[in-house]
Structure 1
Amino acid sequence: MADDQRSKNDYKDTLFLPATDFPMRGGLPKKEPQILKRWEEMGLYKLLREQSKGREPYVLHDGPPYANGHLHMGTALNKTIKDIIVRTHQMMGYDANYVPGWDCHGLPIEWKVEEQFRGKGRKKGDVPPSEFRTECRKYAAKWIDIQKAEFKRLGVVGDWDHPYQTMDFATEAAIVKEFLTFAEKGLVYRGSKPIMWSPVEQTALAEAEIEYHDHQSTTIWVKFPFKDAPPGLEGADIVIWTTTPWTIPANRAVCYGPGLSYGLYEVESVREDLDFAPFAKPGDRLILADKLAEEVFAAAFVARYKRLGDVSPSQLEGAKLRHPLEGHANSYDFDVPMLPGDHVTDDAGTGFVHTAPSHGQEDYFAWLGAGLPLDAIPYTVGPDGAYTDEAPGFEGMKVFRTEGKKAGEEGDANPEVIKALTAKGSLLARGRLIHSYPHSWRSKAPVLFRNTPQWFIRVGTGEGSLRETALKAIDETTFYPPSGRNRLRGMVEQRPDWLVSRQRAWGVPIALFVDKDGEPLVDADVNARIVAAITEKGADAWFDTPDAEFLGDKYDPADFEKVTDILDVWFDSGCTHAFTLEARDDLTWPADLYMEGSDQHRGWFQSSLLESCGTRGRAPYKAIFTHGFVMDDKGRKMSKSLGNTMLPDEVTNKFGADILRIWVASSDVQEDIRVGDEILGSAVDAYRKLRNTLRYLLAALDGYTEDEAVDFGDMPDLERYVLHRLQEVDAKMQASFRAYNFKAAWRALSEFVIQDLSAFYFDVRKDCLYCDAPSSMKRRATRTVMATLLDAVTRLLAPICPFTAEEVYDHFPAGLGEKKASVHLLAFASVPETYRDEALAERWAKLRGIRRVITGAIEEKRNEKTLGASLEAAAGIHIEGDLAELAKGVNWAEIAITSQARLGETPGASDAFRLGEQPGISVVIEKAEGNKCGRCWRVLPEVPEEGALCGRCKEAVEA
């Protein structure tokens, strides 16, 4: 049959239709584990290290997650960001080695192991410490294996076979060595001061382990009578207000404000409309801050009162008060001095501050600042939150309950103290207050300030202090975002000395001996023996080895006490730079980047800073990057009680890890990030468009060989414009990756793929690709550009969607050159700067504006049902002004995908289609004249009859 006699359907086999076995659907939940297995089998991590030898290193040091529990979305966010950073730098030509790690010690693990023993009928006190620590080690190891598998499932590449773990013997020894370095520098001391204490957990807590929740407290107003009243103040009482009645037995002073205005007041009458008798009585003479007097009398149900006169702070100076519990249990008969205090205000309370130096930082400093003795500060509350015998009459009563379902609730201390004050006639009023109160972030139970001997690292002030060294290091560090600098700096400027001791079993020991005076023994030989023993046997060696073996012949064990406290876990994690970055030959110190959530300004960033500045004089990092927290789709914190939690494995099982990674990359991670089904649905839509684009490129390049390639200079303007855009996007993405701005990188890629390629370039060049002869220069140029696009876009996608990029790379045509075992062994494509042509880009931006008017006019006709496919159209294009000259010589039928187009400079008809954002352009759409080509479907006058061939198609078929 002659070609011109074929029906239009007979020409299908003459078209160069795209072909690929790359599936349209991702099927990521099933496919990704297969790719993970392949990476494991090929040893991808090892291949990356081998090919990177000699490159400039880039080190992102991993902040250790806690080895307890399954991953949550915040952890998944954190690890995904890290993986994107590591992968991008690897592909930028660095040796970006990522070594993951785990924080293994601490209270949560200890609690879980205690529960396990209780389930077997054994209390912790009945379990030998070495057995208990062995079980803690097993528990942590189990969760490390679980979390490791979950991190791998997210596509995170790293040295999973050799992670760092704070519970490794060598690591525990390294932590001890770091601590002993502080001791050798004279920065370690044992002090007795009020610290935050959890009676439920029975351990000291650092500020980083505290969170604040609303708490209802009993408030009391208490009268302190003078022992020898100053002239004019006879029979008067000083009144204090406190939200912690249980601290009254520990009261040792009352502070006044030297700059406040005080008055002497007398109660004239109390309210009679009550069904109880107020504690206040007519005739009571009370000294109060004038600004607060009305508020105090209202709380005491006083109906009428009068001000008798001024009370100057100078009258109070040196005055002695009686304790409000004087005589209770035949005790509390000591003097209570009045002390000046700059911390005293008249914003709330009475203008006087009840001072219990055992239970408050300001109280403690006010006491010592007055030159009063440290050994006069009582230990009124024990480790379990119960009164000791230094609180006579209240021994054994608890501030908070510490056991059972009511653990953390108010104990019997407050009621009994109030009862005793009432019996003594010392209580003026009582009430309730809901206020923000510190709680343990682990047990969620309220904490208390408690005076107890603890070990501290001296932060100090002034030149040469650890604080000043740390502040200088902060100034030398780059912060992403920049606001992180002020946040960390403010915390370091205000922080107290570093409390490093904990009273627990599972952790690294404070491996010190102290002499009879409580001073730590600093001896290099002793320290070396301690470190060697812990290296061999772990932390147990400190507790199980006889003291004489550490002390040697030089010291008598009878002269020394072995410290049995353990180190704060923040000290453990603050040392990771020492036993990971410095200890491994494949890493460098300092790290290029520390990257964690914004809460780590008071946690890991700060502990690492102080540890490194104390031992090495500078920060262990060059830069800090912080991300926000994961919230639900309504902006609420995720919690089991709200039922709004979402787990990473739920996302990967339903959508795939690449979808989760797109959610991360498309978010502004420096702010709090929302997640929910609808938000993930947007990531799925973006992925689908991206996948379809890559599939189209693979299909369009079916059979492509390098012999087809066309030199850049020989390409049509459109191809050179697309390569300009590719160069622009590549530069934008790499700059964004360097600045850790993943959202900008993802937006640049997705907009390029969807708007420039799918919606424009592919649309325009589909006819050429399908219908032009293979030898056509335009078609060859199109395929050359598409080969360049496929290679570059796949590489740019690889750090964000590593699984999909690998799958695409597996389907690359042979003509794209020699392939490696994995796309992740490639660098980013080298997109030449010579592709940049700003003048050409500006021209095409204007031409695309004209095209939008044409396609808008066609769409209007299609909506009116007066036109079907755009190839049925003939476009009459009318352009006024400067654009008219620019539009000449352009094949508008090809650009707008119509069969015919004519260009005119006169204004279009009044009913022509126009767009407000494209002034001076009007388009009239009519039916194209002629017959439809049976191969390319364009309607042309040259086609002799419906279904016959146009001249171009006839040549292509004959060829």
Structure 2
Amino acid sequence: MSAETPDYKDTLTLPETDFPMRAGLPKREPAWLARWEKIGIYDRLREKEGRKPFILHDGPPYANGHLHIGHALNKVLKDFIVRSQQMMGRDSRYVPGWDCHGLPIEWKIEEQYRARGKDKDAVPVIDFRQECRRFAEGWIDIQRAEFKRLGITGNWDDPYLTMDYHAEAVIAEEFLKFLMNGTLYQGSKPVMWSPVEKTALAEAEVEYKDKESFTIWVKFPVLTDGDLKGANVVIWTTTPWTIPSNKAVVFGESFDYGLYEVTETPEECWASVGDRFLLADKLAGQVMTRARLQPGMYRRVRAVSCEELSRLSLAHPLAGAEGADGEWDEPRDFRAAGFVTDEEGTGFVHCAPSHGMEEFELYRGLGMLDQVITYNVMDDGSFRPDLPFFGGACILRPNGKEGDANKAVIDKLAGQGGLLARGKIKHSYPHSWRSKAPVIYRNTPQWFAAIDRKLDDGMGRHGDTIRKRALTSIDKLVKWTPPKGRNRLYAMIESRPDWVLSRQRAWGVPLTCFVRKGVLPTDPDFLLRDAAVNARIVAAFRQEGADAWYKPGAKERFLGNEHDSEAYEQVFDVLDVWFDSGSTHAFVLRDRADGAEDGIADLYLEGTDQHRGWFHSSMLQACGTRGRAPYRGVLTHGFTLDEKGNKMSKSLGNTVAPEDVTREYGADILRLWVAQSDYTADLRIGPEILKGVADGYRRLRNTMRFMLGNLSGFSEEERIAPADMPELDRWVLHRLAELDHKVRSGYDAYDFQGVFQTLFNFCTVDLSAFYFDIRKDALYCDASDSLNRRAARTVLDLLFHRLTTWLAPVLVFTMEDVWLARFPSEDGSVHLQDIPATPADWLDETLARKWADVRHVRRVVTAALEVQRREKVIGASLEAAPVVHVRDAGVLAALKTVDFAEICITSSIQMTGDPSPQEAFRLPEAEGVGVVFEKAEGEKCQRCWKILPDVGTHAHPGTCGRCDKALT
């Protein structure tokens, strides 16, 4: 620039905005949270009238610890849905809740007691329950603050708690419906039992992990006369402690069995020459190897048919043992059973129906339970004190470690000659997910809901049993996201046993029922069914909470004058906590003013483990009390893993805490990670992944900043109608119309990854790398009243309103920042806006096809210029004036209707249909297009930097005609 040429920088209309390039989210987000609370956004949204409700019912987390990344994933997904549905015109209500009863909290109090040497059983039950309540209250406040920090919207001032008095009353009331409709019964069957926690557990309270177990091969002598007498049926088990409770052995009806005789023995072998064993032929070799018998040391005497087996009876291996007092002297039952396999073991299965569900079901079907049920194992996992040889031995110690029961049984069997082999095996085994200790199957009296009992309750539209109603609901009434969730829950419901409702604990809603003394559970008069008694219980719970059940005189108070209190026993088991959470539809959806009008949620959303948890228990509970599922939709997400795909563990040091992410990056980065992930599978997270998310966030933020800077001072007088816009700007409107449909349908389908990727690609590819890149020239250099500049500013305004509202459900803090940067207000917020309607006539498929061709050719031009830039031939694209050869006449004609030099950001351009010369630049994917590089001719405009022949011929020195006019 010569000394005479003025500096035109101040004449450009450059972007103006206070919107910072650096987000500073960790420090700034809390201020937005405080602002939202101050202006009461959630309540103000409820004031919008005439909207169709959308109810996402919150699955309650336990109030017993800080949030982990799985909590964050779950609540953020819920927030995406609540906010997007609201911004699409629904009254999207969200009442957060907490599960407050049950072992997770009770166990924490017991741990505190143990640390102080305090005996839980010496504390009055109401005092203990109050400690549990206070513990839950403390963690609710902590978790509420942690959830709010993630930008989760909802009715935080009035959440639902399962320990609220009204909730406890409704839970009891829902239980009493099971009592009154005949589905409640007391039975004795094997249930998963935690010896450490001394209570029954549901499948949802169990996790499977590897455990090393003893494994033994045990001999059951044949008693029946004949050539098989004295032979031994061999069984294999990984639970030696169940042998004292053995009542039978079963075999497979279709397997090939043989009689095997030992002909030679090595040292240290429990078999002797002449011993004979009955084994499945397929498994005989494996068994003999475990007994240290190599081929050649035994022979197969003959085949043994299943019919022949069915005529045998067996002795228990401890039968006749000195000091056993006849405990095991009765012959063992021996029969075929369908659950026997020949994949492992011996082909024979030992049965202790008190400790195995398949065996229990077999003998229940035979009507023989009274002959085979034992009560050898106490609630702490120890053998009953008077059990010969083993009395007091424990399966597990109080710390969850291996007890002495297995060793005692194995040693006694070895001493009695009852063992053929022993060993250890590592296998997947159920553990309590609270105490982390192994569980056992144990026959105990429990309270059950019969899910196949016919109901005459007037709610039989979808079936006359709980199971039928549930299966019908799954198939016909519920939409599953992803669809495979349907199959999983259907299979579980289809095959599940009756629901175990009772737990032998203190902190929970009690089973509010009375049983008549001296009457068998099978007697119709065993359970007291009295509506007046039920009403008194529910009324007391509403006033005093469930503690009313434990107060002195409670039995007399509730039974009233109508019943002799001496004739009844009060039940003190508490309800399975899944019954609590399964009942939430009643006291949240049905009873609250901000619940659902019909008591049915539009959506339940939890992790895949809740097919056996909350989805499952809610389904069973509601089918028993209202005849159908309490939800119309179910969405499930995967688990969170570290970057390598490993399960997170504190011991491995690979956990990612939500508070750590918000402290380093801000909550919006965590939310963006959720939006970028496929939540239907397991999700990975870690430092490198979060860095990548943050990089993507910065690109998006720059897009928003460009819009804000170039909308400075925009007024309605500048706005022009779409019909008056140049094609490039109308093409953007077409894209907005396309995107509006994709965003709305994507949010409705809960496809957040699809929505975000679509918008991110639009912002970075269509806008930043194309439209903004082209329109910068007009925005900065054109006169304020030029058509191109007015059109671009109008488009930017339309883009602003759509992008901020489209992205607000995901980036709640950033879009608020963007919105307030343009529309500062004391009480305004992007979250009070709806997604604006997009006119259908913005769609222009013909224009879109034309501009697809334009962009196709542009890619070849920009790639050709990039080669010249890399080779230092030019420094910027405005130094070029390429010749573009286009074979397709239609495409060439289209290019000639637009300012293609402007589109390619060159100073000039030539287009021709002549064949491309040999030296032309080409791209493999753009056949028929060639670019020959030429330098632009003329002088460089000192204002817009284009190189044009007319520069220097105008009134303003060193300018082109366009810039001279803008300065005039």
Q: TM-score range by the shorter chain?
A: over 0.9
For 2:705 and 2:4, locate their aligned partners in 1 and report how far apart those are by CA, in whole Å.
Answer: 31
DSSP-derived class of the 2:822 partner: coil
The two structures, once aligned, show a CA RMSD in angstroms of 1.8
1:146 equivalent in alignment to 2:142 = yes
* CA deviation vs aligned residue, 1:487-536 (integer Å, no higher than 9, x gap): 11001011111011111111111111111223221111111111111222
For 1:625 and 1:78, locate their aligned partners in 2 and report how far apart those are by CA, in whole Å.
Answer: 11
Q: 1:9 to 1:105 in 2, by over 3 A?
A: farther
* CA deviation vs aligned residue, 1:700-721 (integer Å, no higher than 9, x gap): 1111100011111111111101
Cα shift at 1:376: 5.2
Q: Residue 468 of structure 1 aligns to which amino acid in structure 2?
A: K
Residue from 285, 290, 295 that aligns with 1:294: 285
Q: Residue 408 of structure 1 aligns to which amino acid in structure 2?
A: G
Residue from 27, 30, 33 that aligns with 2:27: 30
- Trace 1:170-181 onto structure 2 (pairs within 5 A): 170-181=166-177
Cα shift at 1:699: 1.0
1:236 equivalent in alignment to 2:269 = no
Cα shift at 1:197: 0.6
Q: Residue 936 of structure 2 aligns to which amino acid in structure 1?
A: A
Residue from 326, 330, 336 that aligns with 2:319: 326
Residue from 328, 350, 355 that aligns with 1:354: 350
1:538 equivalent in alignment to 2:545 = yes
Q: Is the 2:353–2:372 Cα contact (8 Å) retained in structure 1?
A: no
For 1:340 and 1:13, locate their aligned partners in 2 and report how far apart those are by CA, in whole Å.
Answer: 96
1:92 equivalent in alignment to 2:88 = yes
Q: Is the 2:192–2:201 Cα contact (8 Å) retained in structure 1?
A: yes
1:460 equivalent in alignment to 2:452 = yes
DSSP-derived class of the 1:625 partner: strand
Residue from 870, 882, 885 that aligns with 1:878: 885
Residue from 154, 157, 167 that aligns with 1:161: 157
Higher mean alpha-carbon deviation, 230-239 vs 210-219, is at: 230-239
Q: Residue 286 of structure 2 aligns to which amino acid in structure 1?
A: E
* CA deviation vs aligned residue, 1:171-223 (integer Å, no higher than 9, x gap): 11111110110111100111111111111111111111112222222122222
Cα shift at 1:947: 5.3
Q: Is the 1:935–1:947 Cα contact (8 Å) retained in structure 2?
A: no
Question: Runs of 5+ in structure 2 lacking a partner?
Answer: 455-462
Cα shift at 1:926: 2.3
Q: Is the 1:318–1:337 Cα contact (8 Å) retained in structure 2?
A: no
Q: 1:523 to 1:944 in 2, by over 3 A?
A: same
Q: 1:133 to 1:483 in 2, by over 3 A?
A: same
Q: Which residue pairs with 2:459 in the alignment?
A: none
Residue from 257, 280, 303 that aligns with 1:262: 257
Q: 1:925 to 1:250 in 2, by over 3 A?
A: same
Cα shift at 1:819: 10
* CA deviation vs aligned residue, 1:815-868 (integer Å, no higher than 9, x gap): xxx997111111001111110000101101110111111211221111111111
For 1:646 and 1:167, locate their aligned partners in 2 and report how far apart those are by CA, in whole Å.
Answer: 30
Q: Which residue pairs with 1:130 in the alignment?
A: 126
Q: Which residue pairs with 1:448 in the alignment?
A: 440
1:83 equivalent in alignment to 2:79 = yes
Q: Residue 770 of structure 2 aligns to which amino acid in structure 1?
A: F
Q: Which residue pairs with 2:575 in the alignment?
A: 567
Q: Is the 2:860–2:929 Cα contact (8 Å) retained in structure 1?
A: yes
Q: Which residue pairs with 1:219 in the alignment?
A: 215
DSSP-derived class of the 2:698 partner: helix
1:750 equivalent in alignment to 2:742 = no
Q: Residue 298 of structure 2 aligns to which amino acid in structure 1?
A: Y
Q: 1:950 to 1:180 in 2, by over 3 A?
A: same
Q: Which residue pairs with 2:471 in the alignment?
A: 471
Q: 1:334 to 1:20 in 2, by over 3 A?
A: same
Q: Which residue pairs with 1:514 in the alignment?
A: 515
Q: Which residue pairs with 1:669 in the alignment?
A: 679
For 2:337 and 2:411, locate their aligned partners in 1 and report how far apart those are by CA, in whole Å.
Answer: 29
For 2:944 and 2:196, locate their aligned partners in 1 and report how far apart those are by CA, in whole Å.
Answer: 80
DSSP-derived class of the 1:10 partner: coil
For 1:523 and 1:552, locate their aligned partners in 2 and report how far apart those are by CA, in whole Å.
Answer: 11
Q: Which residue pairs with 1:689 in the alignment?
A: 699
Q: Is the 2:217–2:235 Cα contact (8 Å) retained in structure 1?
A: yes
Q: Is the 2:218–2:420 Cα contact (8 Å) retained in structure 1?
A: yes
Q: Which residue pairs with 2:613 in the alignment?
A: 603
Cα shift at 1:410: 1.9
Q: Which residue pairs with 1:525 in the alignment?
A: 532
Cα shift at 1:286: 2.3
DSSP-derived class of the 1:348 partner: coil
Q: Which residue pairs with 1:555 in the alignment?
A: 563
Q: Which residue pairs with 1:70 in the alignment?
A: 66
For 1:21 and 1:571, locate their aligned partners in 2 and report how far apart those are by CA, in whole Å.
Answer: 54
For 2:469 and 2:562, locate their aligned partners in 1 and report how far apart those are by CA, in whole Å.
Answer: 36
For 1:401 and 1:910, locate their aligned partners in 2 and report how far apart those are by CA, in whole Å.
Answer: 85
1:409 equivalent in alignment to 2:401 = yes
Q: Residue 475 of structure 1 aligns to which amino acid in structure 2?
A: D
DSSP-derived class of the 1:581 partner: helix
Residue from 300, 306, 313 that aligns with 1:313: 306
Q: Which residue pairs with 1:43 in the alignment?
A: 40
* CA deviation vs aligned residue, 1:410-466 (integer Å, no higher than 9, x gap): 211111112222222222222222222211121221111111101111112786221
Q: Which residue pairs with 2:240 in the alignment?
A: 245
Q: Is the 2:360–2:369 Cα contact (8 Å) retained in structure 1?
A: no
For 1:926 and 1:621, locate their aligned partners in 2 and report how far apart those are by CA, in whole Å.
Answer: 67
Higher mean alpha-carbon deviation, 296-305 vs 583-592, is at: 296-305
1:942 equivalent in alignment to 2:950 = yes
Cα shift at 1:144: 0.7
DSSP-derived class of the 2:258 partner: strand
For 2:32 and 2:833, locate their aligned partners in 1 and report how far apart those are by CA, in whole Å.
Answer: 17
Q: 1:956 to 1:323 in 2, by over 3 A?
A: same
Q: 1:212 to 1:697 in 2, by over 3 A?
A: same
Q: Is the 1:702–1:813 Cα contact (8 Å) retained in structure 2?
A: no
Residue from 961, 964, 967 that aligns with 1:951: 961
Residue from 908, 920, 924 that aligns with 1:912: 920
Q: Which residue pairs with 2:415 in the alignment?
A: 423
Q: Residue 325 of structure 1 aligns to which amino acid in structure 2?
A: L
For 2:722 and 2:601, locate their aligned partners in 1 and report how far apart those are by CA, in whole Å.
Answer: 42
Higher mean alpha-carbon deviation, 940-949 vs 919-928, is at: 940-949
Q: Is the 2:67–2:143 Cα contact (8 Å) retained in structure 1?
A: yes
Q: Which residue pairs with 1:645 in the alignment?
A: 655
Q: Residue 624 of structure 1 aligns to which amino acid in structure 2?
A: V
For 1:813 and 1:88, locate their aligned partners in 2 and report how far apart those are by CA, in whole Å.
Answer: 21
Q: 1:120 to 1:232 in 2, by over 3 A?
A: closer
Q: Which residue pairs with 1:922 in the alignment?
A: 930
1:759 equivalent in alignment to 2:781 = no
For 1:263 and 1:911, locate their aligned partners in 2 and report how far apart those are by CA, in whole Å.
Answer: 85
For 1:111 and 1:820, locate their aligned partners in 2 and report how far apart those are by CA, in whole Å.
Answer: 46
For 1:433 and 1:678, locate their aligned partners in 2 and report how far apart those are by CA, in whole Å.
Answer: 39
Q: Is the 1:18–1:702 Cα contact (8 Å) retained in structure 2?
A: yes
Residue from 746, 760, 783 that aligns with 1:773: 783
For 1:757 and 1:285, locate their aligned partners in 2 and report how far apart those are by CA, in whole Å.
Answer: 84
For 1:539 and 1:749, locate their aligned partners in 2 and report how far apart those are by CA, in whole Å.
Answer: 51
Percent identity of the aligned residues?
54
Higher mean alpha-carbon deviation, 651-660 vs 235-244, is at: 235-244
- Trace 1:364-379 onto structure 2 (pairs within 5 A): 364-374=360-370, 377-379=373-375
Cα shift at 1:252: 1.4
Cα shift at 1:537: 1.4
1:57 equivalent in alignment to 2:48 = no
Q: Residue 135 of structure 2 aligns to which amino acid in structure 1?
A: Y
- Trace 1:535-934 onto structure 2 (pairs within 5 A): 535-546=542-553, 547-588=555-596, 589-812=599-822, 821-882=828-889, 883-934=891-942
Higher mean alpha-carbon deviation, 655-664 vs 805-814, is at: 805-814
1:503 equivalent in alignment to 2:504 = yes
Cα shift at 1:604: 0.5
Q: Is the 2:637–2:681 Cα contact (8 Å) retained in structure 1?
A: yes
For 1:717 and 1:813, locate their aligned partners in 2 and report how far apart those are by CA, in whole Å.
Answer: 29
Cα shift at 1:569: 0.7
